[in-house]
Amino acid sequence: MDIFGILSFIGGISLFLYGMTVMGTGLEKTAGGKLESFLEKLSSSVIRGVISGAVVTAVIQSSTATTVMVIGFVNSGIMKLGNAVGVIMGANLGTTVTSWLLSLTGIGGDNVFVNLLKPSSFAPVTALVGLIMLKTVRRDRIRNIGEILLGFSVLMTGMTLMSEAVEPLSEVPEFVNLLGAFDNPLLGILAGAVITSIIQSSSASVGILQALSVTGALTVGSAVPIVMGQNIGTCVTALISSIGAGKNAKRAAFVHLYFNLVGSAIIMTAFFGVNAVVDLGFAGEKITPAGIAVVHTVFNLLSTLILLPFAKALEALARFTVPDRDDASATVPEDALLDERFLIKPSFALKLAGTALGRMTANAFQRLSKAVGQFGKFSENTAGEIATDEDRIDLYEEKLRMYLLKINGSSLSERESIELTRMLYIIEGLKNISDHAAELSMGARSLAEDRAAVSDEASHELRVLLGAVTEIASLTDSALRSRQSDAAQKVEPLHFAVSEICSRIRERHIERLRAGICKPESSPAFTRVIDSSMRIADRCSDIAIFVMGSAAADYDTHSYARKLSSDPDFRKRVEEIEEKYRI
């Protein structure tokens, strides 16, 4: 192989790996996080886990990604360790689909229909179709399909380049002797494991092996241990991913390792043992890309069938490796959903971020409810709970924002990008509502310490205002949970009404101060409650508009408010609410 052959081989590997990445990204966008949800829901038994793991891996073309996702599921408490065992087995089965696709490069013959199946024949066509879809169509789904086709074309082109670059090596004795050294099973396993652990993809390393097989220097006997080593090497990524995770997540990574180690040991012993006794003639025959696909599939299928009845034993072995200690009863932290392992699948990570946002929403409005309740009967214990709740809200706000920003750096569809922007706005609004709830609680403490400072009329007006605040918070909470425009539209009339109520209470409080009905020292706390109530209503209004908006450009609360204020039906609704909360 001359310098140009080396460059072609390097270029082929680069295109191959890039094409696999592009195709996987397009498949993930098309699935939109649904595959991961499918994986999560259909893993209640080992058999179902095997099926779901195989299906998901076959679609996203990466057993490593599936296994890392499973570790994230287990770490966040979404999936139990026992259910993860079947999914890990299925992931090994699903990854064999890639090797069958790549075996198309070995097709040859004079038949025109057979030649049409060769990547060199159809890859340019799929690339052209994919490019047209990507550049001329605005619909996300069609563009994603175009990305898949482009990625597949680049993948196959890279595979063809690799195969063509190494083909002349069949005439180089040194190269043939080098590959012949892998007839030693231990060397073959080691080589397969090392290469796969470096490129962190068993599918990619199997593809490289298929490209090398066109030289005719690889035999069935030398390919079998290499393929097994490749399956072991892919466990490295999962083990690295489990660093810093909980015990069960580490156990899931070890289940993956033990499954491949035990499976390889059994298959190797059987294959080479039988070959030593019976002398399997085909073991010395040259292997083709399709033959490697057969070996890859048979190995993973046999490993799954043999070890499936021993799923509990694999789990027990992992538990023995990572034993329980004093913290065995530790609960999964609330922010465990925001696991960075899920970032390899941005669509699903965004979906989980939405679940975390739901929890933040619940915490924020629960804090507000507690604060409003302080005005009926102030409690220092409740005030302490409200102060403690602030830490939970701050945790969600900081971690959820950073998590979304990391997702934003990934490849998302236009619809998902809009949703991510909307969530960032909503997080800010919820954080402000939580802060103003704390202000209400402090105002309630000040007023409770000197009940004589405000009149009964002033106290009644505050109760009316807080009733309106409670309603607008409830409507906003419902709008956020349902994400329906109809629910969000009910918020703005109440926002206008709260604004009017706050203005009237301020005016009446000034009159009472002048008349000596209320003491001047009551003003700071009284004003704090009014201001906090108004700001809570403002943030609820913002959130409702964000829910209704179709893009970040639509979030103009001032123009939206001006538009509504000129609508007679809207004004009528505001007047009805003002009548309901008449003071």
Q: DSSP letters of 443-506?
A: HHHHHHHTGGGS-HHHHHHHHHHHHHHHHHHHHHHHHHHH--HHHHHTHHHHHHHHHHHHHHHH
Pull the structure tokens for residue 264.
Answer: 């390889």
Q: What are the extents of the domains in the chain?
A: 3-321, 335-580
Question: Ranked by mean pLDDT, which of 27-36, 121-130, 339-348, 435-444 comes out on top?
Answer: 435-444
Q: What is the pTM of this model?
A: 0.71
**CB–CB of 499/581 below 8 Å?**
no
Using the predicted structure, report yes or no on whether residue 70 has a pLDDT greater than 90.
no
Percent of the chain with pLDDT over 70: 86
**CB–CB of 540/495 below 8 Å?**
yes
Pull the structure tokens for residue 462.
Answer: 């505050």
Query: Residue 536 has what pLDDT?
Result: 94
As beta bridge partners, residue 286 has 219
Using the predicted structure, report yes or no on whether residue 329 has a pLDDT greater than 50.
no
Q: Rounded to whole angstroms, what are the CA distances from 249 to 71, 76, 253, 318? A: 5, 9, 7, 10
Closest to 406 measured CA to CA, from 364, 359, 352, 362: 352
Of 333 and 337, the one with more pLDDT = 337
Pick from 53-62, 464-473, 489-498: least confident: 53-62
Q: Rounded to whole angstroms, what are the CA distances from 458 to 461, 537, 579? A: 5, 20, 18
What is the Cβ-side half-sphere exposure of residue 284, based on CA atoms within 13 angstroms?
A: 5
CATH topology of domain 335-580: Methane Monooxygenase Hydroxylase; Chain G, domain 1 (1.20.58)
Using the predicted structure, report yes or no on whether residue 35 has a pLDDT greater than 70.
no
Using the predicted structure, report yes or no on whether residue 155 has a pLDDT greater than 80.
yes
Using the predicted structure, report yes or no on whether residue 272 has a pLDDT greater than 80.
yes
Query: Residue 31 has what pLDDT?
Result: 65
Percent of the chain with pLDDT over 90: 13
pLDDT tens-digit series, residues 301-327:
999 999 999 999 999 999 999 887 654
Residue 360 to residue 352: CA distance in whole angstroms = 12
Question: Ranked by mean pLDDT, which of 56-65, 79-88, 100-109, 437-446 comes out on top?
Answer: 437-446
Pull the structure tokens for residue 197.
Answer: 């652990």
**CB–CB of 207/99 below 8 Å?**
yes
Of 344 and 532, the one with more pLDDT = 532
Using the predicted structure, report yes or no on whether residue 42 has a pLDDT greater than 50.
yes
Query: Residue 552 has what pLDDT?
Result: 41
